[in-house]
A = this chain, B = another copy of it.
Amino acid sequence: MDLAHMIVMARGEKQVDLVIKNCQLVNVLSGDVSQAEVAVSGGTVVGIDKGYSGAIIVDLGGRYLAPGLIDAHVHIESSMLTVPQFAAAVVARGTTLVVTDCHEIANVLGVAGIRFMVDSAKESPLDILVMLPSCVPATPLETSGAVLSAGDLEPLLDEPWAIGMGELMNFPGTIAGAPDVLAKLELFKGMPVDGHAPGLSGLDLAAYIAAGANSDHECTSAAEAAEKLAKGMYVFMREGTGARNLLDLLEAMNPSNSRRCCLCVDDRHPGDLLSRGHIDSMLRMVVETGIPPVTALQMATINTAERFGLAEYGAIAPGFVADMVAFDDLESFEAMLVFKAGQIVAKQGRVIRDLGVSPEVGSSFNVAGFSAERLVMPASDGARARVIGIVQDQIVTEALSAEVPVRDGAAVSDPASDTLKMAVVERHAGTGNVGLAFVRGFGLKSGALASSIAHDSHNIVVVGCTDADMAAAVARVTAMGGGQVVVAGGKVAAENPLPIGGLMSSLPAEAVASQVDGLNKAAAELGCSLEDPFMTMSFLALPVIPELKLTDRGLVDVGRFEIIGAFDD
Q: Which of B46, B182, B255 contacts A206 (CB 8 A)?
A: B46
The 7 A-B residue pairs whose C-beta atoms are closest, nearest first, are A31-B256, A232-B317, A10-B207, A255-B255, A30-B230, A210-B318, A47-B206
Q: Which of B8, B31, B210 contacts A10 (CB 8 A)?
A: B210
A273 at the interface (CB under 8 A from B): no
A47 to B206, CA, bound (A): 6
Interface string of A246-260 (1 = CB under 8 A from B): 000000001111011
Report yes or no: A209 in contact with B318, Cβ–Cβ below 8 A: yes
Report yes or no: A46 in contact with B210, Cβ–Cβ below 8 A: yes
Chain B residue numbers with a CB within 8 Å of A105 are none
A3 at the interface (CB under 8 A from B): yes
Q: Is the interface of A mostly helix, strand, loop or mixed?
A: mixed
A510 at the interface (CB under 8 A from B): no
Task: Give me the interface of A with B, judged by CB distance under 8 Å.
Answer: 3-4, 6-12, 27-32, 44, 46-49, 51-52, 174-175, 177, 182, 185-186, 190, 202-204, 206-207, 209-212, 226, 229-232, 254-257, 259-260, 292, 294-295, 298, 306, 309, 311, 315, 317-320
Report yes or no: A206 in contact with B3, Cβ–Cβ below 8 A: no
* Contact (A318, B231) CB under 8 Å given A10-B210, A47-B206: yes
A243 to B232, CA, bound (A): 35
Q: Which of A12, A30, A182 has its CB near the most chain B CB atoms (within 10 A)?
A: A30
Report yes or no: B48 in contact with A230, Cβ–Cβ below 8 A: yes
Chain B residue numbers with a CB within 8 Å of A232 are 29, 315, 317-320
New contact pairs (4) apart from A7-B211, A29-B232, A48-B206, CB-CB < 8 Å: A28-B256, A30-B226, A209-B319, A255-B255
Report yes or no: B175 in contact with A11, Cβ–Cβ below 8 A: yes
In the assembled complex, 5 residue pairs joining A and B whose CB atoms fall closer than 8 Å, in A order, are A10-B211, A11-B207, A30-B230, A209-B317, A232-B315
Chain B residue numbers with a CB within 8 Å of A209 are 10, 317-319
Chain B residue numbers with a CB within 8 Å of A226 are 30, 32
Report yes or no: A182 in contact with B318, Cβ–Cβ below 8 A: no
Chain B residue numbers with a CB within 8 Å of A31 are 254-257
Report yes or no: B175 in contact with A6, Cβ–Cβ below 8 A: no
Q: Which of B8, B202, B294, B306 contacts A51 (CB 8 A)?
A: B202
Closest to A4 in B: B177
